[in-house]
Structure formats: structure tokens, C-alpha cells
Amino acid sequence: MIDLAAVLYCAGSGAATLGALQTASLSPATKAYQAASGFLAALAVVAGLNAYGLLAQSRAPELLLLSATMLGVLSPLLWLYVDDLSSDVARVWRWRELKLLTPAILMGLVTALVASLPAGVRANMSAAGSESTLGALDLAVFGVLLLILLQGGYLVCRISIRLLRLRGRLRQVMSNADSHQLIWLRLVTVLFVVNGLITLADNVGGFPVPEIAFAGFGLAFSLVMSVWAMRQAPAFQRDAGSLERLAVPTEDPPESASPKYERSRLDDERLEKIAARIETAFRTQRLHLDANLSLKTLAAATSVSEINLSQTFSRRFGQTFFDYVNGWRIEEAKALLTSSNDTILAVALEAGFNSRSAFYNAFNEVAGQTPSAFRAAQDASTAAPRGRKDAIRL
């Protein structure tokens, strides 16, 4: 009877292989796509080796170590993927990033050493397992595996911090940021952490974990990454066919910064002039109705640099570009909800939002109620006077 875990491993390996090939073919090519392709390829190898071990009912030590080597590649590639995907400047490959692969390279050297041993010695290792007479080699394997797990935990923390900060950075330059927040990567991070914990429990903690658990998480990983990696463009990418990204202006340094920075700060008079120019542009050109409005677009419309616009939103308006634009859109939506019978979705799109959910979230945040509740309240307020007038007439 075929082992269910082996079936799941095979399915995961197939899904990861297909995802790796399709992600590698995406255009324009970015470091994020290449890292995702490498991540999926490594995941496919791990799942394939595990499936082979179950189906062959034999786990050669060099194959187990090769699987561990591939595991050491996963967390660095996932970090490099998130790093480029969430950056406002396209990342390029650097030699210094090889240091992230140090644990995997060490495990690869151990794998090569084990593979070079005589067949009889390797067979003895497989039979003896952790009680092999090759104590020094076992200790090296244990140490490198622990290093791989610790590095994975460190890189997961970096990924989590990057994703948490992404929302605020997107709001500085985009008026519709919901689809760019990479929320799905939080699920990937959670799966990665859970997989790391059960690996740690199984290999270090002495708590055997059923093979079906590893197979299930591997399949979930493969499916989520394969589907979303092909659909997700870099968060700050301007156009689908372009490598150009929206740059996020750097935040204001503290007051004790260099004289050069002090000269770059806008004085109050200049802030007021830029603020007036922004308000005029929104009032006359109705910029907020453009669902793809960005800080760069506003800079072109007002002939003001992006860094000066960013300072004005922060210091003069006390809010992000995203919040400022949404304020205009909510006022537009209120007028439409009051004066028309259009559906909520139609109102959202006409007011400049790109989805119903984004509209509901923004409206509730600004107005303190849902669009439906606002419309109902407006209908009730206009109907009440008509009722009182009819009563007097009677």
C-alpha cells in the first residue's frame, strides 16, 4: 500500500517544480522572481528526496544530508525574495549575500564527505543512525543542522519586521495600497515557522513527529508559493511591464542632523505654499478620482519634488499621502451616496477606490461607519422633514 505521506511529498515536489519553472519565466525578470524560483526548486528537491526515501524504504545518509542542505537554502532565498519584493529600489545580486548560504554550504561539505566514504561505512551509518561510531561526524551534522534552524529563525524575524513596516511605507507613495501589502507572505512565514518548530522538535528536541505532518506542510508551502509567486509583482513596481519602482522618500532625520539637512528642510512659508498647491490640484484636477494616483504622479501635476511633497504631508497635513487622498475620496463618496442610487461598488470605483473592501475599510476609518449605514442615515434625515410636513397638511 502506498504511503500517504509519500503521495503528499510527490504532489508537493511536482507543484514546486512547476512553480519554479513558471516563476523563472516571468518577465520582466527581477531578483524576487529568481529567488522565488530557487526557493521552489529547493523545496521540490527536499520533497522529492523525502518521497524517494519512503517509497524505497531506505534512507541513505548522503540523501538525508542533501535534503538538510536544501533546507539550509530555503530561509536565505525566502529572505532575498521578500527583500526585493518589498523594496522601492530593485535589488541586484551581490557576492556578500553568499554568507547567508554558509550553513547550507557547510552541510553540503558534510554531505560530500559522507558520500565519499566507502559503501560499507555509509551502510553502517544508515543502520546505526544516531548511535554510529562516527561520533565526530554525527556531532558536525547536529551542529550544522542547529545552525540552519537558528538562521531560519533570525531571517524569519527580519521578514516579519519588513512586512510589518511595508504598510506604512506604501502609504507614503500610493493612494491604493491594499493589493501591495503582501499579506499572503505572512501565511508563508507562519508555515515556515511551524515547519521549523516541528523540525526542531523531531531532530533536536527528541519528540518524534509523524512523517505526514512534514509532508502536509511541504505541500502547503509548495502550493501557496507556486500560486502567489507567479501573481505577485514587486510592491512598489509602477507598471506591469517595467522594472521602475516608486521611490519612498527618506524620513526626516532628527533636529540634530547635519547643516546640509537643515538647509533642505522646508520653512513654514514654503510648506504653506506647497500645501495650497496640493489642495488646488486636487480641487481643480480631481486627482483623487485616479485609482492609480501615486506621489510621483502628484509631483508631476504640482511641479513639486516628491521629497518636498512628503515633508508637506508629514509636517503640514500631519498624515500620509495615502490618508490625504482617501480623505478626498471619502468626501466624493459621501456626495455620491447622498445624491445617487448607485451601488456601493459603483460609488467606490467612481470615487477612486479600486475595490469594495478598500472602500469599506477607508470609509469606516474616516467616517466611523459603513457606507451603507451612512446612506441609510442620510435617507432617514431627508425623509423626516417630508413626514412632518405631510402631518401638518393633514
Instruction: Give the pLDDT confidence score for residue 371 in this predicted structure.
Output: 92
Cα→Cα distances 188→34, 79, 163, 209, 240, Å: 17, 12, 12, 21, 24
Q: Cβ distance 356 to 344 under 8 Å?
A: yes
* % of the chain residues with pLDDT over 70: 88
Range with the lowest mean pLDDT among 157-166, 207-216, 284-293? 207-216
Which one, of 343, 246, 244, 346, lies nearest residue 292 by Cα?
A: 246
Query: What residue has cell string 511541504?
Result: 218
264-393: CATH class: mainly alpha
Where are the domain boundaries for CATH 1.10.10.60 in the chain?
Answer: 264-393
**Model confidence pLDDT, tens digit, residues 58-104:** 777 888 889 889 989 999 999 999 999 999 999 999 999 999 999 99
Q: Cβ distance 203 to 65 under 8 Å?
A: no
**Model confidence pLDDT, tens digit, residues 271-287:** 999 999 999 999 999 99
One CATH from 1.25.40, 3.30.1560, 1.20.1070, 1.10.1760 for 4-231? 1.20.1070
Range with the lowest mean pLDDT among 113-127, 170-184, 322-336, 339-353? 113-127
More confident residue, 178 or 144: 144
Where are the domain boundaries for CATH 1.20.1070 in the chain?
Answer: 4-231
User: How far is the C-alpha of 242 from the C-alpha of 89, rounded, in Å?
Assistant: 13
**Model confidence pLDDT, tens digit, residues 105-123:** 999 998 888 888 777 766 6
User: How far is the C-alpha of 264 from the C-alpha of 144, rounded, in Å?
Assistant: 50
